[in-house]
Amino acid sequence: MKVNHVPTYTMSEDEVSKIVKSCDTHKVPIVPYGGATSIEGHTLSPNGGVCIDMSMMNSIKALHIEDMDVVVEPGIGWMELNEYLEPYGLFFPLDPGPGATIGGMCATRCSGSLAVRYGTMRDNVISLKVVLANGDIVKTASRARKSAAGYDLTRLVIGSEGTLGVITEVTLRLQKIPQHSVVAMCNFPSIKDAADVAIATMMSGIQVSRVELMDEVQVKAINIANGKDLPEIPTLMFEFIGTEAYAREQTQIVQKIAAEHNGSDFVFAEDPEAKKDLWKIRKEALWACFAMEPNFEAMISDVCVPLSHLAELISRSKQELDASPLVCTVIAHAGDGNFHTVILFDPNIEEHRQEAERLNKFMVLTALSMEGTCTGEHGVGTGKVKYLEKELGVEALRTMKRIKAALDPNSIMNPGKLIPPHICF
């Protein structure tokens, strides 16, 4: 059934439950909506329906300082949450797109630059409250830090992309703001050298909190967008945390590793403003790309492989990208084996779109051949649906479909996303 698209702001869990129940009765599709920073068409409404905007359910319900957890409504942004937590010496360590909300972050099982140290959303959510398709409100777990009580419903909903229910409350694990941190940058003659250093750093046992890799094209975009003068060659950015002495010791060890792999110009910053500026630039790297081609669109790849395959994956992809007529940048959460390419294309030129698709597919298939995944952190949405069967196999997808059918028999929750349409019983 196709119905008109109706945006709805909601103020309470009870209201969400009533809306969802009514939509279920009338078989009207629902698309939950957070910060709308997702990248794979997650919030499209191909069948129309009701879009429930959660941004006004954004309060902090309880902060438990001694338990290092916080209970929030789903519409709060991770940046606003961290502003609130800072005076308490605490923070929440997931940093996806600026503007993303905690509910959307749960629904996409997101991560970010700090996942190498603190894990993904899967590891940092203690429990959820969820409105199911029939209007029932379910609490998935207690507030205990760990539990062996039954099926792990929390983890079932995390990454479900709004297809199983609407998240209305989230209890999050928090971390202490580190006593000291050092941000270091280093340049390399080739992207393979940079990837090798990221791997060698992880193998050395050093607990880095960030290892981010950028190729020369991405650095150029950053220079243009931010009026910077960074050397336009493959670059690694690190963050080390702990006591002052420990963070500096780790910095020196990695400086040595970098030198053994042709690294040069190793510089580091300890001034809080300089560090903030560097991470802001990195976080906004996607937008910086549009400084090179302001009227183009971007297709973003998000493959992830076991760490030992990262250097080979990046080298093979880079050869393909460099040979393409399109402008492509490489950016990676290298400590996790997670690698993005921003492929800029003119949406009015069909050959451009096809070439962007071809490059994206090349990287996905190469990652899958290395026991990797088509999406390390952005999720499936509509964009990655076509690759799921190759990655997971038909049995896994049929199992997902059975879960979906049990919890949402009328298929009203974000239909057309995550599960490929051809999967049937």
The residues that touch ligand FAD, with contacts defined as CB under 6 A, are 31-39, 42-43, 54, 74, 96-97, 100-101, 103-105, 107-108, 110-112, 161-162, 166-167, 286, 377-379, 414
User: What is the rounded distance in angstroms from the CA atom of residue 160 to the CA atom of residue 166?
Assistant: 10
Q: How far is the CB of 271 from ligand FAD (least distance, A)?
A: 24
Smallest separation, CB 275 to ligand FAD (Å): 18
Q: What's the min distance (Å) between Cβ of 59 and ligand FAD?
A: 14
Nearer to ligand FAD, 246 or 287 (CB): 287
For ligand FAD, which is the closer residue by CB, 263 or 376? 376
User: Quick one: 116 or 182, whose CB is closer to ligand FAD?
Assistant: 116
How near is the Cβ of 264 to ligand FAD at its closest, in Å?
27
Minimum distance from residue 285 beta carbon to ligand FAD (Å): 7
Give 132 or 257: the residue with its C-beta nearer to ligand FAD.
Answer: 132
Question: From the CB of 228, what's the least distance to ligand FAD, in Å?
Answer: 18
Nearer to ligand FAD, 112 or 234 (CB): 112
Is residue 169 a contact partner of residue 71, using CB atoms and an 8 Å limit? yes
Among residues 75, 9, 127, 19, the alpha carbon closest in space to that of 413 is found at: 19
Smaller CB separation from ligand FAD, 263 or 381 = 381
CB of 325 to ligand FAD, least distance (A): 25
For residues 397-411, one letter each, b for 16 or more C-beta atoms within 10 angstroms of the residue's C-beta and e for the rest, the string is beebeeebeebbebb
Amino acid at 136: D
Measured distance CA(196)–CA(307) in Å, rounded: 10
Give the C-alpha separation, 116 to 154, whole Å: 22
Give the strand order in the sheet containing 69-72. Answer: 60-64, 69-72, 165-173, 125-132, 137-139
Report in angstroms how near the CB of residue 343 gets to ligand FAD at its nearest: 15
* Residue at shortest CB range from ligand FAD: 104
Q: Rounded distance, CA 299 to CA 63, Å?
A: 39
**Which pair of structure tokens corresponds to residue 189?**
């003659």
Say how many C-beta atoms besides its own lie within 10 A of residue 180's C-beta.
14
Identify the H or E element spanning 241: strand 235-242
Cα 13 from Cα 30, distance rounded (Å): 15
Nearer to ligand FAD, 187 or 414 (CB): 414
HSE of 147, CA atoms in CB hemisphere, 13 A: 16
- Packing angle of the helix pair 350-369, 310-323 (nearest 10 deg): 160
Q: How far is the CB of 98 from ligand FAD (least distance, A)?
A: 6
Minimum Å gap between C-beta 106 and ligand FAD is 7
Three-state DSSP class for 111? coil
Of the candidates 303, 321, 140, 308, the residue with the CA atom closest to the CA atom of residue 217:
321
Whichever of 107 and 213 has its CB closer to ligand FAD, that residue is 107
Ramachandran region, residue 150 (left: φ > 0; alpha: ψ -120 to 50; beta: rest)? left
Beta carbon of residue 255, minimum distance to ligand FAD (angstroms, whole number)? 26
The distance of Cα 188 from the centroid of its chain, to the nearest Å, equals 26
Token digits for 310? 């990262």
What 3 state SS string does 70-111 have? EEECCCCEHHHHHHHHHHHCEECCCCCCCCCEHHHHHHHCCC
**Choice between 114 and 241, CB closer to ligand FAD:** 114
Nearest to 53 by CA among 87, 89, 19, 23: 19
Give Rg (Cα) of the chain: 22
Q: How many CA atoms lie within 13 A of 77 on its CB side?
A: 11
